[in-house]
Amino acid sequence: MNRLKKITLSLITLIGANAIAQEFSSDVQIRPRYEYTNGFGTLLTPTTEHTSFIGNRTRINFNFNDAKLKIKLSLQNVHTWGDAATSTVTSKNGIAAFEAWAEYNLTEKWSAKLGRQPLSYDNQRVMGGLDWANQGRSFDAALIKYKGAKSQFDLGFALNADSEAKVAPATPYTTDVFKDMQYAWYHTNIKKLGVSLLALNVGKEYLKTPTEVGLNYFQTFGTYGKYAGAKLGVDYSLYGQTGKIGNNIVSAWEAALNVGYAFSPKFKATAGYEFLSGKDQGSSSTMVKSFSPIFGTNHGFNGFMDYFYVGNHANSVGLNDISLKLDFPIKKVNVSVAPHFFSAPNKIISGGVEQDAYLGTEIDLTAVYKVYKDITLTAGYSQMFATDSMVVLKGGTGLNDITNNWAYVMVNINPQIFTTKK
């Protein structure tokens, strides 16, 4: 009898200990954003006019974790105000699983993670979560992860298909930009310096012959580093691309350097330069020389008006971007002003005549105000001062003698609605 009591007490203690190690939480995000677009992404033309709209993200996250297992389910609806009637019973875009993954701790330092998940590394130049876009970006992927005291290592794999068809399709996979992907990312901290290495292998299908689907791979590899001192901050990136896309050989690269200094607790200035390789207009070479930040959060680079590498400027003349960012508060509002000076590192040709390399200047103004602990208000205004060379680059019909600008106001409401531990 005493032995039975001891066994029962031991089981109760064990169950209680396991229960205490479990945690479940949930949070909600509601993020409407008003935008006024008047030459956003490209120059206005004689037949285009400004417009405005409100885009909205509604997202709910469920998180579970215990000593060995983590699970996250993130459901979202993305829509534009007015894209469905006020009396509709369904949403135009429905509900999508932005995240649906599980991570199991193999040891104290090694884990495996499977499912739909964002892949975001370093400054997100090559791989990012694309949070600015209301839909974001997430991958169906499998990861092996290592996390030590000063270093991390991720090994990732992804394989895409349109369906569970049991025979190979007769056309290339085009639902996403890749058929399969493998990558390795390593990061280590050396005092105030963090250094990362990335190697990314991407497979893309193409029509090898009218009746045969081929698969070729191109690689992105390089390094990112960031030094964070008391006043001085420096970050850099250097990436190369090689391999083949379709029948074309790839040879491209990117380099960037940003140096920031906090002159006071309330004023910081950052000077930056980025180079992305390209190819002369009219070149007869089939080689892909234009660098592609394939999975990057590209809205955060080269100006907020998205004239470069946000669904555009692929296989083009490349880019030089010289920038200066000033950060300072005005009472309780954090303000940043960032001019960008754009030029083309390769030739722009119009009517057989080489154009000036200078493309124009963009000025971005951003203000952020914390309304409440779970509410942030962000507003921005940007204007592009384009040259004739920008007009040629953007197709020849754009207008650079009128105002090309963009403005937005975004409210981010993101409270945790409950959390339990047992």
Taking 80 as the threshold, does the pLDDT of residue 256 lie above it?
yes
Q: What pLDDT is stored for residue 20 in this prediction?
A: 53
Q: What pLDDT is stored for residue 2 in this prediction?
A: 54
Taking 80 as the threshold, does the pLDDT of residue 104 lie above it?
yes
Mean pLDDT for 195-211 is: 96
Taking 80 as the threshold, does the pLDDT of residue 330 lie above it?
yes
Q: What pLDDT is stored for residue 226 in this prediction?
A: 98
197 pLDDT tier (thresholds 50, 70, 90) = very high
Percentage of the chain lying above the pLDDT 70 cut = 95
Q: What pLDDT is stored for residue 304 in this prediction?
A: 98
Q: What pLDDT is stored for residue 7 in this prediction?
A: 41
- Which residues share a beta bridge with 342? 321, 360
Q: What pLDDT is stored for residue 4 in this prediction?
A: 40
Percentage of the chain lying above the pLDDT 90 cut = 90
Contact by Cβ (8 Å): 158, 141: yes
Instruction: Name every residue whose Cβ is closer than 8 Å to that of residue 200 and which is 6 or more positions away in sequence.
Output: 126, 127, 181, 182, 183, 219, 220, 221, 294
19 pLDDT tier (thresholds 50, 70, 90) = low
Cα distance between the two ends of the chain: 30
How far apart are the C-alpha atoms of 80 and 56, rounded to whole Å?
Answer: 6
Mean pLDDT for 368-382 is: 97
Q: What pLDDT is stored for residue 92 in this prediction?
A: 86
Q: What pLDDT is stored for residue 236 in this prediction?
A: 98
Q: What pLDDT is stored for residue 248 in this prediction?
A: 96
91 pLDDT tier (thresholds 50, 70, 90) = confident
Mean pLDDT for 170-185 is: 95
Range with the poorest average pLDDT among 5-19, 175-189, 281-295: 5-19
11 pLDDT tier (thresholds 50, 70, 90) = very low
Mean pLDDT for 207-219 is: 95
- Which residues share a beta bridge with 215? 205
Instruction: Name every residue whose Cβ is closer than 8 Å to that of residue 218 and which is 6 or more positions away in sequence.
Output: 201, 202, 204, 241, 242, 243, 244, 245, 250, 288
Taking 60 as the threshold, does the pLDDT of residue 372 lie above it?
yes
- CA neighbours closer than 13 Å in the CB half-sphere of residue 194: 14
240 pLDDT tier (thresholds 50, 70, 90) = very high
- CA neighbours closer than 13 Å in the CB half-sphere of residue 331: 2
CA-based nearest residue to 119, from 98, 105, 149: 98
User: What value does the mean pLDDT of the chain take?
Assistant: 94
- The pLDDT tens digits for 121-169 are 999 999 999 999 999 999 999 999 999 999 999 999 999 999 999 998 9
Q: State pTM to two decimals.
A: 0.90
Q: What pLDDT is stored for residue 396 in this prediction?
A: 87
Helix (H, G, I), strand (E, B) or coil at 29: strand
